[in-house]
Structure 1
């Protein structure tokens, strides 16, 4: 998916003064790192890093983003707003038929993803929302650090709650969103477009 220089500016990550990402390491390198540090050993175990354990070869993408969901306590029973990022047809359809979000309610974005190999750190989810080509919102949320799930299962990350806009002006037109999962080194793991509109009801 190509981007203009201006669009890339929209996705410039927030930086912390003085912070410099460390060089990427393999799972084996992490396993051997400070082997006698007990707290580090617990952290590595939480990522599924065990010294001497067999590690899958690093082929294909490090991360596969599976779904993006919108969750809200105000959603009617049985209603589920989920977008399968791996389904190109669904991604095309959601641009033609935007997701409907009720105005003035609390909701949060949730994504599920798999870490296929290696350790990911400094990975963040970003989304830029535009209406009529003008940026109206930008969200940036850290995913954290993860290794491949020991059972091959997906991770689910819930982001901070937000409140959807309200009022007649907010309900006019469609909001176009570009979402991206990227790390500190600028490696993009997923990049997709989707749309939503605001209404009085879900």
Structure 2
């Protein structure tokens, strides 16, 4: 967590850092990719390894990415889960409790359907008493459609410690892709406490 608080600018939530010189690849449909070099048997097997054979069709749902859950992962403790498919406005009123100084990770479970999604990113802004105290941006990767859930887990972070760090934090999260499609935005909260209770 960053130690220098910054005032919130009117466009703070829109400030998503780009990788200098990176240009997203041209979008191709799944059918186009599967038909490319169809006569090359080794490439065909490689594509099956990457994409699998059990592709999600999602006939009733037009979304390419469905973000289903977020978990707080702490070694030696059961994961704490937040469902991201219902009423997201209730998440801020049910904060995670994190013991100060504890190493934790955020795990996001999602489903990809219809097409390959390139350059998924997880973007997070953390606030305390209305002041932005941290801005984090993770490259999640590119994923093909699958019937089963896929997940991304952030690198381990250490919760701040000490009396000054204890308290209530709110977080604005986004799950976006290279084409700047916002697949899900949600707000949640956590409390840093002296102990888990």
- TM-score, length basis structure 2: 0.83
Partner in structure 2 of residue 157 of structure 1: 152
Q: What does 1:27-176 correspond to in 2, within 5 Å? A: 27-35=30-38, 36=40, 38=42, 41-43=45-47, 45-48=49-52, 60-75=62-77, 79-88=78-87, 91-149=88-146, 152-172=147-167, 174-176=168-170
Q: 111-120 vs 38-47, which deviates more? A: 38-47
Residues 109, 135 of structure 1: CA spacing in aligned structure 2 closer, same or farther, 3 A cutoff?
same
Q: Give the number of aligned pairs.
A: 186
Q: 159-168 vs 38-47, which deviates more? A: 38-47
> 1:181 Cα shift?
0.6
C-alpha offsets along residues 116-171 of structure 1, whole Å, 9 cap, x if unaligned?
2100111111111111222111222222221111xx11112222111111110110
Q: Which runs of 5+ in 2 are unaligned?
A: 1-9
Root mean square deviation of aligned Cα: 2.5
Task: State whether residues 56 and 145 of structure 2, in contact with CA within 8 Å, keep that contact through their aligned partners in structure 1.
Answer: no
CA distance in 2, matches of 1:131, 1:186: 27
Q: Which runs of 5+ in 1 are unaligned?
A: none
Residues 199, 23 of structure 1: CA spacing in aligned structure 2 closer, same or farther, 3 A cutoff?
same
Task: State whether residues 56 and 114 of structure 2, in contact with CA within 8 Å, keep that contact through their aligned partners in structure 1.
Answer: no
> 1:201 Cα shift?
1.5
Partner in structure 2 of residue 182 of structure 1: 176
C-alpha offsets along residues 32-63 of structure 1, whole Å, 9 cap, x if unaligned?
2344384685145322369xx99666961100
Task: State whether residues 120 and 142 of structure 2, in contact with CA within 8 Å, keep that contact through their aligned partners in structure 1.
Answer: yes
- TM-score, length basis structure 1: 0.82
CA distance in 2, matches of 1:33, 1:56: 23
Structure 1 runs of 4+ aligned residues shifted over 4 Å read 53-59
* SS of alignment partner, residue 91 of structure 2: helix
Task: State whether residues 57 and 113 of structure 2, in contact with CA within 8 Å, keep that contact through their aligned partners in structure 1.
Answer: no
